[in-house]
Amino acid sequence: MLLLMALVPVAGAAWHVMRKRAAKRLAKLNTSVAASSAGGGGWQEFLALTGLALALFAAARPQWGRSNQKLEAASRNVVVAIDVSRSMLAEDLHPNRLDRAKADVADLIDSLQQDRCAIVAFRRTGELVCPLTTDHAFLHQALEGLSPESAAKGETDIGAAIRASLADLDPAEDDHNAIILISDGGDLRDGAVEAARIAKKRGVRVFTVGLGDPTKESTIPDASGAGVQKYKDAAVKTKLDEASLAAVAKESGGRYVPLAMAGTAETTLGAIYRRFLRQVAAKEQSAEEELRATERYGLFLVPGILCLAGAGALSRGRFASRGRKRA
């Protein structure tokens, strides 16, 4: 929406040029009519463009400041760790593995109710991109921004993802904590099982979700998106490594769930959450306060609408023409 604001001055310039041209054509036909039509045009243009800019800025949902909001509900803490390595761009799932993961995590977020959720992106390291929160809008915003650049480049390290997820979970609440790890497998650092043991000692279950085709290899798009990634002139291929994901889930006391290739209502992350993750105990929260970003879009939307209404009132179009006919 902020990028669209750059088009406002372009639209204003185009409107100004067309208005000047129309005035010149009208002046050739009738000087008195042209003079009466000139009044208010500049103000109408100003109000319309200002209103449009304010409306677009409001649509970008500006936020500043934080306010305490009380939550009174039973909840769990869930960290969703998403593999953002380049192998997740393979297109054996439509449109690719990473976009399928993001779509399913969006479904999961809508199923959370009062449960708190955090998002970790991982490749060589695990990076916290959204801390634990019940703010679904903030979670969706963080999710949409995920890409292979969201974590440090290098060999995929599932162990690092689990450790980063554990770091965001309070050990005092481990009876109510869980991790959902989404990946195509392919752990290249061999630390995943050890990290799963650490999670088990803390009492945190790791639910692993496999994305991709476990039987057929797929190529990976290169950085340009026009070709395939190669190593020593040979195309790099990948397929779902279920063994590593199943081992992590088993070691931690969680479950491994492969998402169906076609995708059904029973294999979305929301369904998996309802079926398995709610086995984790819920913590009774009594009037717990959480800081949330304060939405400020109303400060821009209301004056934007008023400006657009003012521009409409200055119009010399259909309504003004009817008034002159009655006179």
Domain map (residue ranges) of the chain:
4-62+296-326, 68-287
pLDDT at 199: 96
Query: Strands 230-231 and 218-219, how do they pair?
Result: unpaired
The identity of residue 119, as a single letter, is I
Of the chain, the end-to-end C-alpha distance in Å amounts to: 44
Q: Where are the beta strands (DSSP E) in the chain?
A: 63-75, 77-83, 116-122, 126-133, 177-183, 205-210, 218-219, 230-231, 234-235, 237-238, 256-258, 283-295
Distance, CA of 237 to CA of 221 (rounded, Å): 10
pLDDT at 287: 45
Q: Which CATH superfamily is domain 68-287 in?
A: von Willebrand factor, type A domain (3.40.50.410)
pLDDT at 318: 46
Instruction: Please state the pTM of the whole predicted model.
Output: 0.65
Give the DSSP letter of residue 154.
S
pLDDT at 184: 92
pLDDT at 286: 45
pLDDT at 73: 55
Cβ distance 267 to 259 under 8 Å? yes
Cβ distance 122 to 139 under 8 Å? no
| Alpha-carbon dihedral 99, 86, 248, 131, rounded to 10 degrees | -60
pLDDT digits (tens), the chain, 327 positions: 788 888 888 888 888 888 788 777 777 766 555 555 555 567 888 888 898 888 888 888 888 877 666 555 557 899 999 999 999 999 988 889 999 999 989 988 988 878 899 999 999 999 999 999 999 999 999 999 999 999 999 889 999 999 999 999 999 888 889 999 999 987 767 789 999 999 999 999 999 999 988 888 899 988 777 788 888 888 888 999 999 999 999 999 998 988 755 454 455 677 777 777 766 766 655 445 556 677 888 888 888 899 888 888 887 654 444 444 444
pLDDT at 324: 46
Cβ distance 163 to 252 under 8 Å? no
Distances (CA, A) of 314 to 20, 91, 237, 310, 322: 17, 53, 63, 6, 15
Q: Which two tokens stand for residue 303?
A: 């004056």
